[in-house]
A and B are shown apart, each in its own frame.
Chain A
Amino acid sequence: MKSNTNNSRSVNSTVGGAKRPPRIPIGHWLGVLPFFVFSGMFLIAPTLVLAYRSLEGPEGGLTLDNYRQLASDTVMNSYGMSIKISLTTAILGGLIGFVIAWVVSMGGLPPRFRLITTTFSGVAANFAGVPLATAYVFTLGRVGLVTALFKMFGVNLYKTGFSLYSFFGLTLVYLYFQIPLMVLTILPALDGLKREWREAAENLGATQIQYWRYVALPVLTPSILGTMILLFGNSFGAHATAYALTGGLFDLATLLIGRQISGDVLHNPGLGYAVAMGMVFIMAFSIFIYSILQRRSERWLK
């Protein structure tokens, strides 16, 4: 079956520019065809549809109006909250995750703790969504166990203005999968710190602190930064946990899009698509920066 027409979009656009390798049997293209068909149909095409429709004006022509309207209050509030939470959980999760990774790899704990930590991190990262939200409701919700414990000591959490369904609450919940993601991603980088670097530094007269300040931390910085950016993207695009926690009614970019799917809450379909594409741009940008930093750190840590 000649398949040049089917995969023309993805294949030609990749081979275009580079000269076509001669005489590669069609059978080889068949092997990768399903992959391109699937990703084309269920990843690329839907996104392209959104992109196209976001540029569609109410009359049908192409316009950037929808993107200009992103500056409106409703949208900005949701985006702003998403960015606030994502920045906070990225930095906090990054720092705490780094410290934990350091503790289990070179902090002097028994080696078994490392395996326990990595397995649990995998679980915790996957726990996100309804189970995580449920767990927190039972912990810090109005009738949660910890809330009740506080009451026993005379502290009424919710009277002090605390609420699980707020910036603070969501940050607390999001850290539950952000910290493990950081731990899992940064451990290989910590392993990449060669023992000889520390020994050479000591041999040349440096203390532990000087070694970390002048050698280890600079070498690790691209990885740490890159992973924090990964964390940012992860939090920015998260939907399920927030939905389960707040019923979809909170001011968050992903929840806004969710409401838009169920009905035109923005009173402007084009704007809805622009909001969605805006998310894609932000995510694409962060993944891009992440891969640059990843490449830099690999150069030093391989």
Chain B
Amino acid sequence: MPIGLSGKALGFTVAGEADIESDRLGAVGAASDILLSAAGVAKSYSGVPALFDGRIKLRRGSVHALCGGNGAGKSTFLNILVGLQQADAGTVLCKGRAVHYASPAEAFADGVAIITQELSPVLDMTVAENVHLGREPRRASWFVDRQRMISATRSLFERLRMDVDPKARMRSLSVGQIQLVEIAKAIDREGEILIMDEPTSAIGERETDILFEAIRSLQKHGVGIIYVSHRIGDIFSIADSYTVFRDGRFVETGAVANIDRPRLISLIVGRSLSDHEKRPVTPRGEVMLAAKGFCRGHAFRDINIDVARGEIVGLYGLLGSGRSEFVNALYGSEPKDSGEVFVEGRRVDIRTPADALRCGMAIVTEDRKETGLVLTSSVRTNISIATIRRFSRFGAIDGRREVAAVDRQIAHFAIKASSREVPVMRLSGGNQQKVVFARCVETAPRILICDEPTRGIDEGAKRDVYAFLASFAAAGNAVLLISSEVMEILANADRIIVFRRGRIAGEVRASTATQQALVHLAG
């Protein structure tokens, strides 16, 4: 428990306008402990609101967990706090002074630092060089003082109880170690306010322990930390206060000591799904796809999954839990150490995506821009690329047959594009995703893998995707649906398999499962 906090401050409070007002007026006493406070922060992206009312009150020496599901507005809020984006409305006070950071550099100068999910280490430089990037210790004002740089890094690591060689190349470290070094780097810059966005998503148990040790030492030095994590377990082991956002709005704040796990989860997930929103229960048909004994290093281990005809099986898990890595290995786009695949009881050998396509599998990948679409090519090319051989004779494309098939898919998915010849990069996110689906369907698959199929698309397009999945399964096909949105997976799957740290943590029936149960299993 941090020192210097009054009993009232630790008690259950809901941050109100009045409190914020008094901070601005420079109230003395408990308020001087407040490093950062924000209220009424709002932000819209081209008319679509992402955040209505973001609030937080961070005290000196506190680890404050910011909780919320996907789309709760956490990322937008953090981006505003560190100057990556500008708020449309609301106030942010840093140490009692109203601030509007125009860039992360300004926020940094004020002692506000962020460790984001996507790290940017220079892999071919040494650990010490990375830690001191941009503020290298110098000798004779021109030369880098390498000795001092290494010894400073070594003492920093000793202080944080990290066992990493400052002279090692960044490239030779594990992902977890890289993450720790990046965290140490941010700590070394001696910010007063440190924001950590999902710091444990890519690291193992051991590194998590070291990280928590480092956080506690920072806490003792009076640093305020905003800690964002989907891992409920993490929150209870490291944070002392919490704030929950849901659907872009502040919900509640208080001390972690005064809340229990089930209540925090129910605050995060909000309403529960009513029965009529779930998929009707259907008898399970014969097994269509079976994956047995899938392993790859630390990414995933002992994964056994089967999907029946007409069934939608959900794969739920946090970022880095191994679910996406598993399906990519299943589809042949990533390697595996071991694992067998059976399609309709027959063993098949899948080494490349081409093999998977031949076996009647198709995948909607996690990131349509990175792996899904050829953005510079036309809607037509993107829809027909996987099946173009069907429309050709001796390698020459029969344009009329191709266009007929493409137009059929455009109509089927109601893809809005001014013409089939426009590059897909000019389409909206929802329509781009429909193009990915159209390409998959054109291959006439019997097994469809969808990895986060509704990420970043609007509500209408989402409903179209759900309707398509239901009808696709109803036609006797099998679906693997991966999602990190609890509501989505509960509403659209028959069974849900939960991944945690590369293993299957459990399996639930969607008809009887609760959101709490899923979040609990995953975290």
A binds B: no
